[in-house]
Amino acid sequence: MTLNLSRRKFLATGAALATLGTGRTWAGATSDLHTRVADVQLLPEKYGQTRIWGFDGMAPGPEIRVVQGARVQRRLINDLPNATSTHWHGIRIDNAMDGVAGLTQDAIAPGSTFQYDFVAPDAGTYWYHAHNRSFEQVARGLHGALIVEEPEPIDIDREEVLILDDWLVDPETAQIADTFGAMHDFSHAGRLGNYITTNGAYNLSMPVKRHERLRVRMINAANARVFQLALDGLEGWIVALDGMPLAQPRPIDGNIVLAPAQRVDLIVDVIAETGDTGHIVQIDRTESFSQVAFEVTGDATRARRDAPRALPPNVHAMPDLADATNLELLMEGGAMGGMRGAMMGGQMSSMRDMMQSGNFWAFNGAVGGMDGAPLAALSRGETVRLKITNDTAFPHAMHLHGMHFHEIAPDGSLGALRDTTLLNRGEVRDIAFVADNPGKWLLHCHMLSHAASGMMTWIDVA
């Protein structure tokens, strides 16, 4: 593979490589999490500082790291000018702690606090983010990594957590573009940024040793961007998706697709020579950019190793497809051909209605949200098979709270366990899960502008 690593679009050439740490905070170091406004050097030095909203004033926020089965306790102190709440994405959590303002709790008013307290039952890569006006609050920087370690250490030399994000920034002022709620974002692909970062740095670089084995945990925190990634000078395997281990590590040959909110855990061996640089490459249409650079500074003490072993599985109830409740979710609406479907529910009679209400999408013929009836009322332990049809012109990353689901492969077998599944235009996907976590759980598009404009529903498990 020959890659042409060119520079990102609006950045001037000649800027030095930025090497930034991730601002780690270990569990127990603090029991408070402050959401607050802060000015940070998001853009390269020659630009001014950028005002963000961050957990503890950082974007990404402090890494929260616990061992599987541990309790996570954080008192959220909201010092933002707006109400907020915090969702622990991918955790099979107690419903009252799920952090969905308007469904599982009231939004936390400015100056108020909320005590989050839950157990993290599954090892894996998770994240936390704002869940009130999330199309704005996540884009302003309110997200961070939540890492749940396996009880036994994995055979690696070191680990890197990489949070991918894109920002819509005005290069003149260095400020985040205040275009939240723009009708175009609501009705098209969502809010796409012009400035892509890893752990808050636009050109993250780190030293490695040849033959070093890394575990790389990647989190897509962007509002709408689907990252297409590839390895260069690195050899790797996918070992987990959305936190959940694959039964067998999957060698990477080709692109890794990471939709908003999705995570992927890789085992990566450095194969580039000393003095060379390996890359995680981001492919944007026909161009390639270095998402993360690994500068090879010497040889590791250990020689090249065999393929990695699978991570220990998280214990999950297996869906019984022969005895499943079948549900359907038809996704319609949006610009470029899908509007009519969304109007047919009768709530909207014209394009103007949609513009005025700010709703552009429909689930099963009606504008979605969390106020109306649930998509389904399920009894605990029921197996659900849900057929999702994307009859729109855009990709959507559908996320279920509270439980992971299996994607069902074309041959009918149970595929990987996920909490967020990407449906490209015209795609149909069947998913199956055991509804074994009681409560009210959202099911929504993680293109966050879409969730705010009709692509949201919920299920009730009693």
Q: Which residues bind ligand C2O (CB under 6 A)?
A: 87, 89, 129, 131, 261, 399, 401, 442, 444, 446
Closest CA to 311 of 401, 383, 236, 239: 239
Nearest approach in angstroms of CB 87 to ligand C2O is: 5
Supply the minimum distance, in Å, between the C-beta of residue 399 and Cu ion.
10
Which listed option, ligand C2O, Cu ion, none, makes contact with residue 131 (CB within 5 to 8 Å by class)? ligand C2O
Q: Which amino acid is at 326?
A: N
SS (H, E, C) 323-356: HEEEEEEEEEECCCCCHHHHHCCCCCCCHHHHHH
Nearer to ligand C2O, 191 or 210 (CB): 191
Tell me which of ligand C2O, Cu ion, none is bound by residue 36, counting a contact when its beta carbon lies within the kind-specific cut-off of 5 to 8 angstroms.
Answer: none
Closest to Cu ion by CB, 396 or 399: 396
Choice between 34 and 444, CB closer to ligand C2O: 444
Q: Name the minimum Å distance from CB 419 to Cu ion.
A: 16
When the beta carbons of 60 and 190 are compared against Cu ion, the nearer one is 190
What is the spatial distance between Cα 178 and Cα 412, in angstroms, rounded to a whole number?
45
Which entry of ligand C2O, Cu ion, none binds 447, CB below 5 to 8 A by partner kind?
A: Cu ion
- Quickly tell me which residue has 């070191």 as its tokens: 158
Whichever of 246 and 329 has its CB closer to Cu ion, that residue is: 329
Q: Where are the beta strands (DSSP E) in 252-302?
A: 256-258, 263-270, 277-284, 287-299
Task: Report d(CA 296, CA 107) in Å as an integer.
Answer: 47
Question: Smallest distance, Å, CB 147 to Cu ion?
Answer: 27
Rounded to the nearest whole angstrom, what is the least distance from the CB of residue 88 to ligand C2O in the complex? Answer: 9
Q: Smallest distance from the beta carbon of 263 to ligand C2O, in angstroms?
A: 11
CB of 100 to ligand C2O, least distance (A): 6
CA distance 266 to 268: 6
Q: Among ligand C2O, Cu ion, none, what does residue 263 contact (CB within 5–8 Å per kind)?
A: none
Q: Which residues bind Cu ion (CB under 5 A)?
A: 396, 445, 447, 450, 455
Structure tokens at 235: 């050899």
Residue 27 or 456 having the CB closest to Cu ion: 456
Q: Which residues, 6 or more positions from 346, have their beta carbon under 8 angstroms from its beta carbon?
A: none
Report CA torsion sign: 414, 419, 422, 426: positive
| Rg, C-alpha atoms of the chain | 21
Q: By Cβ distance, which residue is nearest to ligand C2O?
A: 89
Q: Where are the alpha helices (DSSP H) in 319-445?
A: 339-343, 351-357
Please name every residue paired with 119 in a beta bridge, in sequence order, or none if there are none.
71
Tally of residues, the chain: 462
450 binds, options ligand C2O, Cu ion, none, Cβ within 5 to 8 A by partner type: Cu ion
